[in-house]
Chain A
Amino acid sequence: ARSPLPPPVRDPNCDDPEVEQAAWAAVQYVNSNHRHGYKYTLNQIDKVRVYQRKPVGEVYSMEIDLLETTCHVLDPTPLENCTVRQLTEHAVEGDCDVNVLKLDNQFVVSNAKCESSPDSAEDVRKICLDCALLAPLNDTKVLHTVDAAVAAFNAQNHTSYFKLLEISRAQLTPLHSSVYVEFVVGPTDCSPKDAAEPAACNLLADQHGFCKATLTEKVGGEDVAASCVVFGTVPVVPQPQPDGAGPTVGPTVAAGTPVVAGPGPAVAVGPAV
């Protein structure tokens, strides 16, 4: 059984620099301890109390409000370069209760409990009548859009066959005429041509593609537009060569270099190709 907390030492201001430091330690902790969805950033410190920790140190017991960013947790982009998801994109908030230990001027999170919740549909409607609202990730239209987008991405001339790893976000427009999805794919050891049996293709470690796609229904069919940014070292998969030709040297992309694959061949951004 835990002993009850001693009386608080002090109630500092929520915007006190030391409290902010503790809050940022908590944000970092939260982002490094979830493997799905998006990175969160600090929006507001709601409450804070400081307790003495025996034999040494202090515990910052805090309530903090976080906001979802557009960077996936597996995306190596530093949090400070990530954009906060806007209200028009149906923002998601995180509420966390955290205890952060301050010892030798270092802040270490001892525990955190968070709940995330999207903004209400009514609130989104107040600022934008035709904004797309978040949809369940297992919605039939969402699943269909992701399948179509992964197929479209693989149909482009990549060196690897990409497998779906996670559906991260989905939005339906008010009249459901289009579906917007965000998902994560990973390259495999199969080339797109020998991926007839995708189950036999093995994912390559620590390489991810972050994709956005829109499926629009139209008379007599549908349009799919997909684009992915791939991080990691994409290996060269040997391609069949005509007799006498040497091995093909395909693009090898250094870790952290984004490859933007839109409609058309993959384009490497940066000098590392």
Chain B
Amino acid sequence: ALGPKPVIPGAGPAAPAIPLCPGRIRYFKV
């Protein structure tokens, strides 16, 4: 409904994926 994504002049190629870290907390953070 908002139309196509605007093109930002000068924007380079997509950055490499950043690793998802730290990982999930299994219990609680101390």
- Chain A residues in the interface with B (C-beta under 8 A): 11-15, 19, 41-48, 65, 67, 84, 87, 91-93, 119, 123
B21 to chain A, nearest CB (A): 4
**Pairwise interchain contact B22-A14, C-beta atoms closer than 8 A:** yes
Asked if residues A87 and B23 are in contact (CB atoms below 8 Å), the reply is no
| In the complex, chain B residues 14-30 whose Cβ is within 8 Å of any chain A Cβ | 19-30
Contacting pair A119 B20 (CB below 8 A):
no
Give which listed residue, A14, A48, A93, contacts B30 with CB less than 8 A.
A93
B22-A67 in contact (CB<8A): no
Contact call B21/A119, Cβ cutoff below 8 A: no
21 residue pairs A–B, Cβ–Cβ below 8 Å: A12-B19, A13-B21, A14-B22, A14-B23, A15-B23, A15-B24, A19-B23, A42-B26, A43-B25, A43-B26, A43-B29, A44-B22, A44-B23, A44-B29, A45-B23, A46-B22, A65-B30, A67-B27, A87-B28, A93-B30, A119-B30
B residues adjacent to A (C-beta < 8 A): 19-30
Chain B residues positioned under 8 Å from A65 (CB to CB): 30
Give which listed residue, A14, A84, A92, A123, contacts B20 with CB less than 8 A: A14
Contact partner of A13 (CB less than 8 A), chosen from B19, B26, B29, is: B19
13 further A-B contacts with Cβ under 8 Å, apart from A46-B22, A46-B23, A67-B30, are A11-B21, A15-B20, A41-B26, A43-B28, A44-B23, A44-B25, A47-B21, A67-B27, A67-B28, A84-B27, A87-B28, A91-B30, A123-B30
Q: Are A43 and B27 within 8 A (Cβ)?
A: yes
Closest Cβ–Cβ distance, residue A250 to chain B (whole Å): 42
Chain A residues, CB < 8 A from B26: 41-44
Q: Residue of B at shortest CB range from A13?
A: B20
Identify the 5 closest CB pairs spanning chains A and B, nearest first.
Answer: A14-B23, A93-B30, A14-B21, A15-B23, A45-B23
